[in-house]
Structures are given as C-alpha cells and as structure tokens.
Structure 1
C-alpha cells in the first residue's frame, strides 16, 4: 500500500511539474534540491510512473556514489510503495543484486553504472538516468555523466538525463548537459545555532590516515556536552571507520543512550536502525556519507570533528586511497544542516570561527587529485584514450594521465597509441583497479587470485594483521560485515575471472597470496637487506614488531605507509614470496647491465643483474667500456676533488698564478676553480683521462703539465705569463724573492725589511700592488704594508725601536728610504760584503 501521506509531505513535489517539462522539452535537467526534500526517493518514483498521474511507465536507473546510500535509497522507495526491495524498486551494488522482473526503479552505484555502459553503450531498456549527489564530484560519477552524454548525443537522443544534487555548480552541469534547464526545489530548513567548541590545547594536524587521538577524545567530550545541554539525537561526523570505533569506545557507559555507527562497513541491520526513528535517545557516529546521501531522523544536534577523507594518489599503495583532510566550508554547511531538518537545532564545531574562514570553500574534485589509472582505462575502452572528447567539468591533469597510461601499458591494457587492447577490455570488465585485474588474470591456472584481490580491493580490518595469506584466512572464518562483503566479492570475481580466462577458481594459499601481491605491485617486491627490506622501486620498508612476515627473505608489499618522522615505509599488508616468484611477477624490471662507477674511492666495474633497485648477482667486468670508465673517473674527481691528481709545487703555483690573472685580467686567462676545471676537463685533461682506468692512474697525472694546456696560446698571451705574474721578482737588495699567489685578490711578497731599503714604490704584478710582509732578520713578520713610502715615513720608527736592540748586528738606519738595501749584517758590510 502506497504511503501517500509520506509522499505528499516531501517538499520536492512542488518542483516535479518543472522537472517533467524540462525532460519532455529538452531531455536533460539539473535538479537542485536541499537534503531531505525527497529528490532521491520521490523523483525516481514519479519519473518511473509508479506514483502520480500522467507519467508513462518508464525504467529509471538512479546512480549513487556509495553502496550504503544505494541500498538505503532503494529500501526507502520500496517502503514508500508498501513493498520490499526487489519488487518495483531494486538495487545493485558490487557483489549484491536485488532486482526482480517487475523492477522499474533500480538504484546502482556509479561504478556499477560504468560497467554497464562499457558492456552496453546504449543502456538498452533504460529510459531515464538520475545521477544523484553529483556535487560530491566523485570520479566515477563524472565519468558516467560524460559517457551518458556521449550516448545521448550519438546513439539514444531519447535517453533522459537528470543531474541531481543538494548543492552543486548548477550552471556548470547545465552547460555540460547541453544547456539543460535548472529546476530548483525549496527545502524546509529550520534555524541552526553554531557553537564553536575547539580543543583547549592544540592538536596535531591530520597526516595521511592518522588523526591525533587528542582530537578524537575532544570530539567524544563534545558529544557528552551536547547530550547534557540539548535535546534530541546527536549526529557526530568523523573521518573514517577507525575514528568512529575509537570514539564509540570513549562514549561507553552512556545511560539511556544508544551509540550507533554508520559507515560503508556497518552491517545492514545497523544501517537500517540508524535510518529509522529510535525508541531511545541516540548518538549516531557517521562518516561524510551522512552529509547528504542519508537522512537520519530525530537529529537535533550535530557535532562536527571538522575532518573528512578525500581520495589522493597513494604512491605507497599504487591505488587511489583516502587521506584525512580538513573538511571544506561547503561540507561543514551540509553537516550543520542535518541538525535543522525537523526542528531548530545546533551544531558544535570542533574548531574556531577564525579557522573556519581559512577552510577550503569546496572539496577537491576527485579527477584533480586521485589516481587516474582506472579512469584512463575506462576512457580507452570508450574509444577516447586521452579523454579529450569527454564532457567533463574538469579535464584530467596531464601528468596524472601520463602516469596512468604508463601503468596501463605495463600491464598490457593499452597499445602504443593508448587504445585499449583485448586484454584491457577484459581488465575493465573485472570491476577492480587495473593493477589488481592484472593479478587476477595472470595468477595462473589455479585461479586462486580472487580471494586475495577481494581483500586488496577494500581496506581490511587491522586485526587481520599484516600477512596477506593470514588475512585471507581470517576473512574466510570471519562473521563480521567486512567478511560478508568479502565473500560476495570473491564470488563475483571468480565468476568474472572465469568468464575472462575460461579457468575455474580455487582457494588461495600462502604462495598464491604472494604471487597476486607481486603481480599487482611488481615494483614493491622486496628483499631483506640489513634489517629492512629494499623494494624494487628503491624504497626501503620495515615490518612491525611481531609481524608474521619476519624472517622472509623476499616479500611482496601490497599496502604500506610512511609514518611521520620515519625514513622508511612501514608494511601494512604483504606476503612472503620466493625469488622465482619475484622474477616472474616483476619480469619487466629485470635487467643485466655493465655497471662502472666510482665507489669506495676507486673505479668499480661489474656486470650486474638487477630486479629494479635490487641487486641479484654481480661479477667483475674485465674489459669495461672506456666511456663508462671515463664517466666514473669524472665522478670521482667531482666527489673527491682535483687532489686525486699528482700536484707538484710547480703545478700548485701555476694554478695560483692563473687564478690571480683570471681575477684581475679576466679573459683570455682561464678560470681554474674546481667547478670550471671539471666543466672544461676535455680541454686540459682528456689525454690523461682517456688512458686512465683507476685511481692510481690519476695519481700519476702531472696536474701542472695538464693545466698548461689552458694557457691562452692561440692569442699569444701565454708568452706574457712570466711578465704579468712572475714566480719571483727582484727586490732592491738584488735577491729574487718568490711571490705568494695564494690569495688571488692580493698576492704577498715576504722579504726581509733591510732588503727593501731605498724603495719608495710598492712592487706590483699585473698592475696590482703586492702586500709586502716585511720580515725581521730572523724571518719573522715585523710589519705588513701595501704602501712602502707611508711605512718608511710612519711605521718604521716603531719597528726600529722594537727590533734594533734585539738584532744589533743588522743595520737600522734612521732614514730607510735613503739607505742602501742589503742582505747582510753590519760586520759583513764593513768587510765589503
């Protein structure tokens, strides 16, 4: 018996004439209706002709982004008709189908809809498709919309399309659907008071899947506060199942209050209890599924943790995974609205009003942030490999598409042009990520991969442990909601894999678990190496204490993360394998190459067999490629410096002289810094470098002789080296004194003071005054000057007074500027030298 009283109370009824007119005239429409108005339940029944007058009987498919929402919507519509699901209204989600011969409204997940479109592009027998909750911008929903528009444009112009949402980019969707009319339904919204309830002390921001336990404890305390301060049921938003379980534990012992958990893993009985009025007061702990997809009656209070889970490319897992993020302002608005569905309500937000203004306006579209491998395969099978012809609100990022095509090419799903191969079409029909599909098809004649792939398709409970084979055994004997879903998925995968391969499936064992994991993630096969595992990708991974995988020489890592502050990845789920399995699964990474490199201070030449970054075997290479040897020697020079060459005193002096001239004269005098010399090595060291084979050969190279090749011989300037930067200069005493060019800015002349008597002008080289270090008769510095005339006039008196008594045998004239320079003592001067 149809429940007309409930149907008549739904506010969306007022928008139905406009929606019917839009579909009759244009064939497409955008329906904007707030949560609770009946857009998910009444609209499909009316469009199918099951209620109301004047609408012909049609077959309607409603696409929901989540399994829990699909089941709930079907149950609600069946209840409104006075039926059970499977009659006029049915549903299909992955691994579960409840549809009868007379079903006119079928609720499916967007993933199921995509599978149908790939099998039957015309959607034969379907008259209307409703894409519900399209504002959530799930990748499957965006893809389905693009495919459906193609179908309507090219094959079935009579197919009617409705994009329905609580809050959406109505203009964008309308343009996408060819200028579709926008039909708006008014909702009944009661005022909702906002209470800002941040933690008393700062909490750590989310990282990956991790949430600070202090924030969860605070959320639990806010729930208790709300129960004490307000009437009605409490709906608390948390990011995921783990956080829901933890907060439920913190709320134990509430008198007269039922604590319920609603999420994708919850048993059907619990989901039904949440969606029906309760006899006692309730606290409902929910993920974002309760933002818009589900209506929870009796709620007057919302407690919002401020966190959500969004998809990101999970490089540790190789699949699109969820990470914890701050919820957007749009999500916070949706959540708060849940408190005002039936009466005035209140929302407790676990953050400050100032923080609220800094939140992102909307959640990121999944196509912008997720792994696009499955999307790229869908597009290739649809006939549009680069997705350039698809009607999408946001184009896929080029880099993500290139990475996706690389994975697809590696598993044989696409050809060189990006077109789907026959194997790719089989992979697309499996309904799992292409990596897991590859493992399912290639696991061997036993067909044992279904159990393992089913476990890897959805995050397994943590209590199952990190050993994949043991986790499969735990799922087999489990009696929870996850195990029930796993068994359904195993049956589905066995059926589709038998259709794809023609072989019957068996039960998974430890060997099969390892093979499947390695086939799905070949770059993450790993070998024990010094207390950790080195993966073929080059990343190191560690096992947790007490892991059943400890002691395995080889493992295949299926799931891993990288905790904050840790250098290595941490294995969350993996399986033991042997080397033969690793070689088979990661055969594309096998390579044998000659390796010539600088290591441990010398050239090492080997022939190495590798599996990615893992060295399998090596043997010495007797006759290495000279080019590789040259590169290794250059690396050694860059790493250890030009000190590897034999550097005589003459070579060091030549380099200093050239550095001085480059500093003060520039070209054509060369830059002789290490960087410049290594950059021009072919010009000055090539003959010696081409003959060298090891470090000892470099040690025999005369650096000075090699450096001389850089002198500007072609211009003739090389002949002026001794004039511009002489090794020695003649001082007034007649001595030839060496110039120290160690500081290219100002060379130094260290000479005994008496040998410079009578010289008024400071000596120069290349026009640069020398810095004169005047030495005592004992050869110790007595004074430093760059202006001899000034020194003789002002500084000499003090030096004479200090040293005259100490060195009485040496001349200390009162007028050094007019005195005769000498190298000798007074006595020797008296004897006539």
Structure 2
C-alpha cells in the first residue's frame, strides 16, 4: 500500500479516474501535471495496483534512479522489490517488480530486442516536453508497436509543460488529462549583472557572469531561508562556482550533473542536516524534487548539442535557456513551501527568450537515430510518428556515416553488422570502434577505450587519450568508477552471442596487429580505436601544432599539449569556435599513416588531379585520404579535358581578368553591354558572371588548346567575343547600325562613340557640329555630346543640341572667341558651315 500521508498530499490523485478512463477507452493519454503533483511517482504505482506491469521512461539516469527510490519509499520498500530501475550498465529488479523505471536509451534497446515488449502493460513517457532524441524515437516505436503488434499496449505521455495538443494528435487523438497542482507562490527577483558580460558562445561562459551567480547565491543565503538550488549550464561552470563558494561556513555545497557520483545524487535527493547549496545542470529541472529547496538561482544559460555536418564535428553549445525551462527551474523553489527565484538577467530580456528548447531531432547528430530507424525497418524514418521530421540534410549525413562503417547498405537498409552495432547500445561510431578494434588491440582494451570515448574524461586527465586511459585505470574518482563499470559492460556485450568482432565487415578490413591485439602498445591501441571511431578526423601535422583532418577542417592543439610533436592524430573531441576556421582539439590520440589508412580506407582515393591552384593549372598524380595528401607527384601528360576544366575553374575563381583585354575588345564588350541594356535579347549579357558562365562556348577552340594560364592571355578576346553575337537570327549584322563604333558629324569627321558610361558619349570639337540642330542617336538613345574647345578641352556637355545652340552657345562664344581668335565663332551656329580648320588668313 502507498503511504497514506503521502497519498493525501499528492494532487495528481484527483486526475487518476480520468486518466484510467482515458486508458481504458483510448489506450493512450496525455497527462499534464505541474511539478510536485506526483505524476512521476504516484501514477505508475496506482496503475500497477490495478494489475498492470508498468515501465516508466525517464530522460536521465539520475531521474530514473531518483524516481525508483521515491516510489519504493512510498511503498515502504527498498528498490528492487515491487519497484526497480534499469540504467546503462546497472539493473536492480526482481521477480516481484511491477514498476520498472528505465532511461529512454535502455527502453530503446529493449524495443529493438523485443518489439512486443512482452509482459509490459503500460509505458509512461515522463518529461516528454524535453524532446530528447531518444525519447522521441521511443515514442515513435511504441506507437508503431501499438498499431501493428500490440493494440492493447497503453501509453501515457506525461509532462509538466508540453505541447499537449501536439502529443494528443501524435497518440491518435488521445485525451488530455490535466492535474491541478498546489504549487506554492514563487517570488521572482531580477538580478542582472552590474557590469559588462560577454555573451556565451561554444562552451565559453564569461567568468564575470559566474562570479555574479556566486554572489547571487550568497545574497540568497542571506535574504532567504532554506536550501538554494542554482542552475548552471555545465560541469565546468559548476566547478568554478563551487570554488567561488568554497569559503561558506556551515553550508554544504553539492555538485549535481550527469557525471556526479551516485552517493552525491542520493545525498541531493535526501533531506540535509544543515543548509545546502545545490549547483546543478538542467538534470534538476524536472522529475526530481530536491528536499529543502526554497530558493532557485538561475544563471539563464543551458547547454545543448549541435552538429556541424559539413565538418563532421559535434559539440555542445551554450545558449540562453528557454522560457519553458525558466518556468520549470523557478518551480523547484515552490515544491514544498513559498519560495523565490533569483534570475540573473534583465527583466526586459525575458520576453525575448525562446519559448521552448529546440527539439533535439532538429539540431543533433542523427547517426544513432538513423541506425535505430534502419534496424527498426524504416531507414528514412518516413513511417515513424514524430512530432518533428528529421532534417533531410542531417539524415543524409548520418546515412553516409552508416554506409562508411558498414551498418547500412546502399539503399539504407540495415546490414547484419549494423544490427549487431545497434544492439550494443552505443553511438554507431563507437560501435564500429568496438567491433573492429577488438581483434586489433584486444577485446578488453577496445572496451576500455570505447568507454573512455563514450563519456569524455575530466579535463584534468589531459588531451591525450592514452594518458587519460592510464589516469582512468589509476583513478579512484567518480569518473574512474563509472568508466570501469561501462568498460565491463561493453566487454560482456562484445563477448555475448551475436555481437562479436568485425566478421569480415567492410569497415573491419586490415590485418590485426599482433593477432589478438595483446602485443600492441597502449599508445598505438589508443590511436587505432579513436581512428576507427572517427575516421574523418584522422589528421596530419602541418607544423606548429596545426593539423589537417581528413574531413578538410584544420585542427589546432594547445600550446602546452604533448600532442604538438605528433605526425598524425586521431581526434576524438574537437570544437570549432565561432568565426574561426580551425577546430580546437580537446581529446586526441597519436597515430600513424598506416592506422589512418586502415581506419579511413573509404576515404582513400588515388588518381590524376588537374586543378586551378595558386593562380595557374597544377597537374599531379595524387593519393589522398579525404582532404589529406599522402603521395603527390607532378603529372606531365594531363588529359586535355582535365586541363580545360581547370582553366574554366580558374576563370570562375578569378574572372575574365585572366584574359588579355585589348582596347578593341573592351570597346566591343561595351557596345554589346549597351545593346543588351537598351534593346535586350537577342543581344548577349556580357557581365563578368555571364562571360564566365559561357566561357566554354565563346572561348573555344582556343580554350581547349591552352595548357596553362599563359595560354589564356594569348586568346584574341575581341574575335572570341564576336562568337556571342546573335548570328543565328541575323541580328549580328546590325551591330554597326545599332551601336556604331563611329558617327559622322557635319564636318565630315568620323568620331568614335564611347559606350562605357550609362549613356553613349560623343566627344567632338564644337565647330565641327555647326549646322546640326538635332542630337545624334544610337539604338534610339540620344548620345551625350561633349563639345570641345579648339584645344580639345570640354566646354559644354549636352544631350539636346537644339537647346544648346539657342541658350548655351552665347556664353561659350563670349568666353572662347577671345582665346581662340583664329577659329570661327559665328553668331548663328545653326546656319554656319561646320569646319575642322581655323579662319583663313587675311
């Protein structure tokens, strides 16, 4: 029986009849219940009391353990009786267990092994608002199971804040059951930093903000009673703030995150003996009640996964927390009594925060999801019921990785090897490293190294995988304990039937060094396993701590790193700061070219390469591993077609300036540009972009005959340009009519027309235009007449000669007749004869 005193204080009990009715009538329901109402703990127990076997899926291990302990306490039992739990590497259940709390990752693996979920009557998907990728995938698989295999399986999507209508639609029109909470009031105190704080980017958080958060914790302790729960984005920030609070007297400071020791997690979930400050990541936002908390200090930051598909780099980024997360965090202060939340940002910025965190399926690496979907029998996930469809680009990148490691075939269908990888409960990259690394370095060592890569070791372990491996072996810290458990789990899974080594798979080719791998030195073994996991990140040294990865991205190691002298690296962890071309190496192993070839064989290409480089055609015979040149030799007999393409590439990069433009060619181009502008088609476009786009047309056959840049400079561009004229329709013959090179003026001179400006220009001596009343036109456009003095200097500019003779000539005549007395300056220029000469001598 559930403890009677607890039953009476959990408000969700009032919603239980409606929930049971929804499950009986529809087989599914959406349960919306505020924090502290008992949705995580009371609902599964009540359903189990009605005779159902219940599985509760939580997004995090700490939440799964905590929920199981709380439910067992409500029954007056220890975990492992009627309530048990299962997280990666640990399962505490018995024959009496009727409620099992699992992580979504564990449930995902269970579904892949047993799609019917035999013996399970109800699945509760808790905290579904967080939109973790595993949780969305589990929901899609369960809906598929209900539709095709077990329509009697009942589903509950439970959350404090969620898109209830969206989940209801996803569950086939399931009813929405709402529980009214008895949350206590929470006062909001706005405490923005006083000085300038640099915005967070990547994993950087300004120390000034962390100092302000620590100061706010001190203020909260002084102003309020009860324990303080402080939200920070990551483990590093928690450690820094803990250091700033280390001088607190009579206050226990606890650090809670996914890597925290189980003892610390248990201590947080138990009442403290004195005042406590709990520094936590988002793991404490939901599912768990931290007893004694009356105050929340919110840094306003969150850390989410992102992936750069073009460079194959995944990373965590620091972002502003959403309004939904801020509400969840604030609610922690009102679980047991009235409380307060200190928000470390200006109130004016609150409305500009995103409403909800981005669903992980939109922003994360989808390689693991794609393998799960393929193993489920739906390679493109088009048949899965998902709130958000996976982005096509991310799925294409994921499928490329899966093909490279032999997990799927060319059609995206899972291979036998891929099915084994899916059963390992690892990211496909790590599964590949485990399967293919075991015969090369030994099963136990492969398992240890993959365990190390699966959970990045503490920064104090250093950036060298081999050194971190040795530190984990020695260490008595919490990370070392978790690492040993995970390594043991992987070794057992590797030895289990159906999950053996490479078995001749396409990604496992290559001779095993040392047979069983036992004779391979640790440093070499580390390089092999890391390279197998991240083949696109094998990197060759470029000097000065700089490397080039096979994926084409540069990588830099720290100035004090022992990795700087390596010739090759296999990069395990790297991130690329905003606005920087190179990635920063966080964790890597020394390797060699043979290891790089073995691990990244699918990236190995060899052949003749002719391309435009450093301003000219470069022809060479190349063997390359992705973007890394392995062997390069000059090529003297490059195929003409390849040379032609390289020259075209040069024109695309550098433009028509690579050609030698004579004055005649420039003038012809200007005439054509004028006709295109005023007449249009069929006269050709002759902008730089258009000429480059049609270079293969108008520069032939000279282009095919050229072998280097110098060959382009020998092309007669004027003659080549004439190939663009509209010869087919006969319009080309009208070029000199529509845009003549020269115009005959009244004096008989043929004056060149310049077409380089917006309007054609005719520069002519004023006396040569006597008698011409109307302005000359070309293609219907009046020319701009620059009237020159006898010395050739402009004295007037007009596009209306008639108006100039009438109004402007008088002042020009008055100014110039004294300066040039030997030239005619008639009073009526419209009736005077034009001339190129001076007046005759008298």
Give the TM-score normalised by the residue count of structure 1: 0.89
2:609 to 592, 595, 620: 595
2:364 to 370, 373, 387: 370
What does 1:239-258 correspond to in 2, within 5 Å?
A: 239-258=233-252
Q: Which residue of 1 aligns with 2:448?
A: 451
* Higher deviation after alignment, 466-475 or 40-49: 40-49
Aligned residues: 822
- Over aligned residues, Cα RMSD in angstroms? 3.4
1:223-276 deviation per Cα after TM superposition (whole angstroms, max 9, x unaligned): 111111111111222222222211111222222211122222222222222112
1:750-800 deviation per Cα after TM superposition (whole angstroms, max 9, x unaligned): 34x555556555555566555555555555555555555665666566556
Q: Which residue of 1 aligns with 2:345?
A: 351
1:127 deviates by 4.3
What does 1:44-59 correspond to in 2, within 5 Å?
A: 44-49=44-49, 55-56=50-51, 59=53
Q: Which residue of 2 aligns with 1:546?
A: 560
Give 3-state SS (helix, strand or coil) of 2:219's partner. helix
C-alpha change, 1:341 and 1:714, in structure 2 (3 Å) is: closer
Q: Which residue of 2 aligns with 1:192?
A: 186
Give 3-state SS (helix, strand or coil) of 1:114's partner. helix
Give 3-state SS (helix, strand or coil) of 1:443's partner. helix
The answer to whether 1:85 aligns with 2:85 is no
What does 1:23-42 correspond to in 2, within 5 Å?
A: 28-42=28-42
* Higher deviation after alignment, 262-271 or 494-503: 494-503
Whether the 8 Å CA contact 1:317–1:559 is kept in 2: the answer is: no
Counterpart-to-counterpart distance in 2, 1:321 and 1:806: 79
Q: Which has the larger radius of gyration?
A: 1
Q: Which residue of 2 aligns with 1:566?
A: 580
Whether the 8 Å CA contact 2:753–2:760 is kept in 1: the answer is: no
C-alpha change, 1:240 and 1:314, in structure 2 (3 Å) is: farther
Q: Which residue of 1 aligns with 2:524?
A: 511
Counterpart-to-counterpart distance in 2, 1:471 and 1:724: 78
1:346-387 deviation per Cα after TM superposition (whole angstroms, max 9, x unaligned): 222223333333333333333333322212222222222233
Q: Which residue of 1 aligns with 2:127?
A: 133
1:421 deviates by 1.1
Counterpart-to-counterpart distance in 1, 2:668 and 2:21: 93
1:482 to 479, 483, 486: 479
Give 3-state SS (helix, strand or coil) of 2:304's partner. strand
1:731-763 deviation per Cα after TM superposition (whole angstroms, max 9, x unaligned): 555555545455472232334x55555655555
Give the TM-score normalised by the residue count of structure 2: 0.88
1:708-747 deviation per Cα after TM superposition (whole angstroms, max 9, x unaligned): 4445555555555555555555555555554545547223
1:574 deviates by 1.4
1:602-657 deviation per Cα after TM superposition (whole angstroms, max 9, x unaligned): 33222322222222222333333333322333333445554544555544444444
* Higher deviation after alignment, 310-319 or 588-597: 310-319
Q: Any gaps of 5 or more consecutive residues in structure 1?
A: 50-54
C-alpha change, 1:505 and 1:698, in structure 2 (3 Å) is: closer
1:702 to 692, 701, 716: 716
Whether the 8 Å CA contact 1:560–1:569 is kept in 2: the answer is: yes
The answer to whether 1:631 aligns with 2:645 is yes
Whether the 8 Å CA contact 2:436–2:501 is kept in 1: the answer is: no
Give 3-state SS (helix, strand or coil) of 2:565's partner. coil
C-alpha change, 1:681 and 1:145, in structure 2 (3 Å) is: closer
Q: Which residue of 1 aligns with 2:273?
A: 279
1:502 deviates by 5.6
Q: Which residue of 1 aligns with 2:507?
A: none
* Higher deviation after alignment, 501-510 or 373-382: 501-510
The answer to whether 1:417 aligns with 2:416 is no
The answer to whether 1:114 aligns with 2:108 is yes
Whether the 8 Å CA contact 2:371–2:418 is kept in 1: the answer is: yes
Counterpart-to-counterpart distance in 1, 2:791 and 2:737: 31
Counterpart-to-counterpart distance in 1, 2:714 and 2:48: 91
1:550 deviates by 0.2
Whether the 8 Å CA contact 1:592–1:608 is kept in 2: the answer is: yes
Whether the 8 Å CA contact 2:36–2:183 is kept in 1: the answer is: no
Counterpart-to-counterpart distance in 1, 2:672 and 2:494: 74
Counterpart-to-counterpart distance in 1, 2:156 and 2:670: 80
* Higher deviation after alignment, 407-416 or 147-156: 147-156
Counterpart-to-counterpart distance in 1, 2:21 and 2:783: 97
Counterpart-to-counterpart distance in 1, 2:218 and 2:14: 40
What does 1:144-293 correspond to in 2, within 5 Å?
A: 144-174=138-168, 176-177=170-171, 184-293=178-287
1:109 deviates by 1.4
Counterpart-to-counterpart distance in 1, 2:797 and 2:233: 74
